[in-house]
Amino acid sequence: MPCEHCIKKTERSEDEKKKLINRLSRIEGQIRGIRQMVENDAYCVDILTQSAAAKSAFTAFNRELLRRHVEGCVTRDIKAGDEGVVDELMEIIGKLMK
């Protein structure tokens, strides 16, 4: 386990946190709605349509977070001489593209 001061963190403005949390709250609501549809024996196509919408919303969340990461963290680390951040970035992009 890494030492406490070695763990990377990203400082976010209150506005940025609020926007990200609002997106996640909407996605959470969509997932709850899908669960309720399953519980209520909704038509498969209707559930799949809502599932696709939730996936799209989550993809948009990831895209926004990735953009902010590249513009902030990655740029900062490269300027500081930490080119290992590129490998980290490529790894996370690979995970997102699965």
* 1-37 pLDDT tens trace: 555 556 788 889 999 999 999 999 999 999 999 999 9
Does this model's pTM top 0.75?
Answer: yes
Residue-wise pLDDT tens digits, 58-85: 999 999 999 999 999 999 999 999 989 9
Distances (CA, A) of 57 to 2, 9, 27, 37, 85: 33, 24, 7, 18, 27
